[in-house]
A = this chain, B = another copy of it.
């Protein structure tokens, strides 16, 4: 039996993937569970990551003409009830405000007082409350398209929570647009899906598949739900962003009417689209390894961590000065339209210091001691390589090439994730193989089982349901970037014109 390699995260992904996930969140100092049921505390490293993701997405939104606004946290119950499917979809997981003060209870402690005449729901999503404003803002075709986004917290009272992936409160953005035609609304739905795909691939280095959901997996009240799906390292799928074409459903529910160019009146066509702090969960499970997180440079809160090493007190000042100068030379540069962020960590905590930065996933670590100084060099480790693969490099060269180096790390993380997905995506046309693929415990080769199955589906809800019930496998999406192909449904054998992506999912 091979000697077990010591890793910074225990257990390893192989040993216990869900527990590895909890441990990496803790070790990387991204976030923690709150004592408030199902809620999380996003710690500075995690929040800085979110701020970077936010800024990139926000720039992309604005470049398509979207403007930010802010709508109330509370939705009167009567608003939510306007769209029947919608309220049904969220009724089971709503936080409900029923009182507006605290008062002395009969036993001395405080109890809720001042009962509201109509309960208020803490927004799980804001179609209905935003629709109420839109119904007043939109009068004529001249007011369209109306392109609005809000950055907000939302609450869905989930029974089983997992940090970043499914929490009772989470942070997100929700875009809401209004159009004068179905075609234009459909185009916007797809445009925003493309923005999500770019965010995932170009910034988070997380390859995604774009497609439409089956009817069963649609957003409550939507005509079409489009999504990006990524493969995590346990080969499960993560839905990382959704864009909904809502038809006239919500316009009718909220009364969003407009006067057309030929002076008739019509209901408008709306879309909504959202992505959340769940993206951070996706990033962790795409790039994390058994030593901790690896943050793609384009969204990294810190690009370079400099660790001065001076065992003799007389060296300390000189080494610190050398590090300061190096940091200044780096900070005067930009990486992908943000100033390079460089941290000098001169805490006297021994080897734990280097490991902290590995666990946090900083893209580049520099160790600088008297010998490196004497050689006018840096001693450099990349987070996308093994933690022992460090090498000396002339200081000037490092300063000149830092941008290219970060680009290389960014590309390497993406390529690795794409290769992983490719290795675990299979075309399967046989129900026996399909079943085996998703039940590795029955197989003698567990390592090659699980992942994305590209299989034919006839379109019947019965087949979709049967597979879901038998194998807990769902249709992740009807992918766009795939050639039409005739075949037989993996479940019932009826004719099918397209393969869909089947997977177990978060």
Contacts and interface: CB of A to CB of B under 8 A. Distances in A.
Contacts of A326: none
A102 B94 contact: yes
B81 A92 contact: no
Given A47-B70, A92-B101, 9 more contacts: A44-B68, A46-B69, A47-B69, A80-B102, A91-B101, A94-B102, A96-B98, A111-B119, A122-B122
A132 B35 contact: yes
Specify which of A46, A75, A92, A110 lies most central, judged by the most chain B CB atoms within 10 Å of its CB. A110
A93 interface: yes
B171 A70 contact: yes
A47 B58 CA distance: 13
Interface string A326-360: 00000000000000000000000000000000000
A435 interface: no
B93 A101 contact: yes
Interface in A90-137: 91-103, 109-112, 114, 119-122, 129, 132-133
A87 interface: yes
Contacts of A17: none
Contacts of A50: 70
A44 B69 contact: yes
Given A41-B69, A69-B47, A73-B155, A98 B99 contact: yes
Contact of A95 (B69, B94, B97, B155): B97
A58 to B, nearest CB: 9
A422 interface: no
A73 B76 CA distance: 19
A375 interface: no
A133 to B, nearest CB: 5
Interface in A20-52: 32, 34-36, 39-44, 46-48, 50-51
Given A110-B77, A129-B36, A41 B92 contact: no
A157 interface: yes
A67 interface: yes
B67 A44 contact: yes
B96 A91 contact: no
A157 B42 contact: no
Contact of A72 (B34, B67, B111): B34
A466 to B, nearest CB: 29
A413 interface: no
A102 B98 contact: no
Number of copies: 2
Given A98-B96, A120-B36, A72 B41 contact: yes
A68 B48 contact: yes
A406 interface: no
Contacts of A97: 95-98, 122
A224 interface: no
The 6 closest A-B pairs by CB, nearest first: A39-B72, A44-B67, A42-B70, A91-B102, A96-B99, A100-B157
A478 interface: no
A74 interface: yes
A229 interface: no
A226 B361 CA distance: 40
8 contacts: A34-B129, A34-B132, A36-B74, A47-B70, A91-B102, A92-B101, A96-B112, A98-B99
Contacts of A70: 41-42, 47, 50, 171
A71 B155 contact: no
Specify which of A39, A93, A96, A98 lies most central, judged by the most chain B CB atoms within 10 Å of its CB. A96
A149 B144 CA distance: 38
A68 B77 CA distance: 33
A120 to B, nearest CB: 7
A223 to B, nearest CB: 24
A153 interface: yes
A148 interface: yes
Contacts of A99: 95-96, 98, 119
Nearest to A74: B36
A169 interface: yes
